[in-house]
Structure 1
Amino acid sequence: MTMFKNNFFMATLIQVVFLGACSKNEAQSPQSITPDVIQFTQLGLYPEGVAFDQNSKTYFVSSLTKGAIGTVNDQGVYQVFANDNNLVSTTGIVVDRAQNRLLVAIADPGTSTKTTMLTQGKLGAIAIYNLTNGQQISYINLGILKPTANHFANDMAVDNLGNIYVTDSFAGIIYKINTQGVASIFYENSAFEAPAGAFGLNGIVFHPNGYLIVAKYNEGILYKIPLQNPSSFSQIVLPQTIKGADGLSIDNTNANTLVVACNDTTNKVFQINTTNNWSTATITATFDTGNVFPTTIASRNNDKYVLYARLNNLFSGQSSDNVFQIQKIKF
């Protein structure tokens, strides 16, 4: 009887140790580890927007020079997803899995192989793609809503009902595209305008409390804009300006935390927190990127990634970069 008990005890102990080892190995499985950096090669691509698709485990990237939308996997393999003729320069990208669609902002800063005199500095549009088959579902020209202005569709956000909001960096306008695909001017204000040739409104996110947070690039400030009463918008009080404020991303688990990518001469990603529903905020952490022109941010589970777009080289006439990075942000 004693021997049976000892044998039983040893067998149980071995089983526990084995199961514990399996659990530990599973926790450290490569599938659960996200890479620190994804590097991909594509001559002269100059992507501005990035978004992660959880289903395909790939990143979507845009292109100021070619207009094409591509996918990049963790191994850095780039593949063209869409390259329709009406994609002149593509900027912001949003993966909207709830509607199985990819949203693409379209502009023309004069850097694209598809640039024309009719579109340069005057193009503000979005294209909507089926995420499954890559077909263009619709193309919406936003510039016709204010035909006398210059236009640059920059970034987009989707609210909890599926409405799309688009920033126009040149016209100082936020557009709305409702769930029926009808576009309108959601709100415009002289405070949103920028000097000719400068970028004004840029990154935009929807906050679950019912408002938009929008970055103004040239001034380095953030606005809080209620959806129900946009004219009651306010500037979020920060301890300093964040010059070159570009892409925005709300923390996946805490809507009181915002991540902001800043380029121009700043070249940092800021973590910003609020305790009063974004009336004021403080900078709680920074991530230095170096001189790589960090533009937009992709969320992947609880991680944030920033795109190293190198647009400073493009805008200075040195359009020969062929290596780009999607970098995990480590505060």
Structure 2
Amino acid sequence: MRVPFHPAFRPHRTRALLLLALSGSLLFSATSCSDDNDNDSSPSLPETVAFTQANLYPEGVQYDAKNSRYLVSSQTAGTVGQVKDDGTYTAFAENAVLVSTIGMNLDESRNRLLVAVSDPGYNKERTSAATLRKLARLAIFNRDNGQLQSTVDLGSLRPTLNHFANDIAVDGQGNAYVTDSFSPIIYKVDAQGTAGVFLENAQLAAPAGMFGLNGIVFHPDGYLLVAKSDEGAIFKVPLNNPAAFTKVAISQDLKGADGMLLQDNNTLQVVTNAQAKVYRLTTTNAWGAATVTGTFSTPPQYPTTLARREGADSYVLYSNLNALQASQNPPVSVFTIARVRF
């Protein structure tokens, strides 16, 4: 910027004005550059949290702001662990009913942690012929001390089918909805612990050996959004008439869709582990259709799901489940929770 000379201007005043103009220009430039990133609301948050726990292979993650920790599951240890920002890992909940812990939901208003429990065969100490690919259980813990409050057997509702309880959503009344990846079923467990089949439909089935229904979130307008991994689709399921579910029209291939996070009523984040990406989807018609408005690429470490932290910020868990599925030896020992940046 050129400042015209004027006799009343002294040299030091001219330099001051030049510095002021320059700093203002730089400030405007920096502000403009941040428009591509809507995750700057809490710049002091860590970009990554890495923790060491050999052979853990966590699939689910939640952030507990009250206790300043992440809660993580484990497909191999059948525990729920807690991770601090400095990477310290300690056990949060341990119980014999936990074979493999999968997705979780931190129901803050009721001070409880809901955990989906399955048996894919990776916990060598607890897997059995009776539970292998047959187990679907909901375990509910006290959010503060990790004490087991109750368990609900979901697989027994359809005892002849294969089961894999995967993810959990909770509505405003405390009803929990649990997806089954091996059967075309969404279960409902009310606040009193009574379980039933909320939705069962052959359209939601997956080929043998593949994962079908997966991530699930509750929308405050009275419906669920549910991911189907093998198809790369998202379904909208009304709570008052689940049989009237519809597929959300999305042009993007979401093959491998896993965990999801509802950022706001019109914005959904979806992890696709097969693509090593997190997609941000936006709707203008109440999830009749959606478009991709952001993409976050992750390392090829099999991202699975997301945790909300400090408002709009979200973190994705790198589970490395691909290494577990390949029987990698030695097993992975360091796992990462990373801040999502679109």
With structure 1 as the length reference, what TM-score do the two structures score?
A: 0.89
**What secondary structure, in the 3-state scheme, does the structure 2 residue paired with 1:206 have?**
strand
Residue 85 (structure 2) pairs with residue 40 (structure 1): no
Runs of 4+ in 1 over 2 A off after TM superposition: none
User: Which residue identity is paired with 1:280?
Assistant: A
Residue 218 (structure 2) pairs with residue 206 (structure 1): yes
**CA RMSD between the two structures:** 1.0
**What secondary structure, in the 3-state scheme, does the structure 2 residue paired with 1:277 have?**
coil
Q: Which runs of 5+ in 1 are unaligned?
A: 1-30
Aligned-pair distance for 1:82? 1.1
1:220 is aligned, of 217, 226, 232, to 232
User: Which residue identity is paired with 1:54?
Assistant: A
For residues 171-230 of structure 1, what are the alpha-carbon distances to aligned partners after superposition, in whole Å with 9 as ceiling and x for unaligned? 110000011110000011001111111100000000011000000001100000000011
Q: How far apart in 2 are the matches of 1:300 and 1:125?
A: 27
Q: How far apart in 2 are the matches of 1:281 and 1:165?
A: 23
Match in the other structure for 1:283: 292
Match in the other structure for 1:153: 165
User: Which residue identity is paired with 1:151?
Assistant: H
Q: How far apart in 2 are the matches of 1:100 and 1:204?
A: 20
User: Which residue identity is paired with 2:210?
Assistant: A
Percent identical residues:
51
Match in the other structure for 2:279: 270
- More deviation, 314-323/199-208: 314-323
User: Which residue identity is paired with 2:319?
Assistant: A
Match in the other structure for 1:295: 304
2:86 is aligned, of 75, 88, 91, to 75
**How many residues were matched structurally?**
298
Q: Which runs of 5+ in 2 are unaligned?
A: 1-41
1:305 is aligned, of 315, 318, 325, to 315
5 Å-filtered alignment, 1:24-35, equals 33-35=44-46
Q: How far apart in 2 are the matches of 1:228 and 1:54?
A: 32
Q: How far apart in 2 are the matches of 1:74 and 1:256?
A: 30
1:54 is aligned, of 65, 77, 98, to 65
Match in the other structure for 1:90: 101
Match in the other structure for 2:327: 317
Q: How far apart in 2 are the matches of 1:33 and 1:173?
A: 41
2:195 is aligned, of 183, 204, 221, to 183
5 Å-filtered alignment, 1:113-262, equals 113=124, 114-251=126-263, 254-262=264-272
Q: How far apart in 2 are the matches of 1:186 and 1:327?
A: 34
With structure 2 as the length reference, what TM-score do the two structures score?
A: 0.86
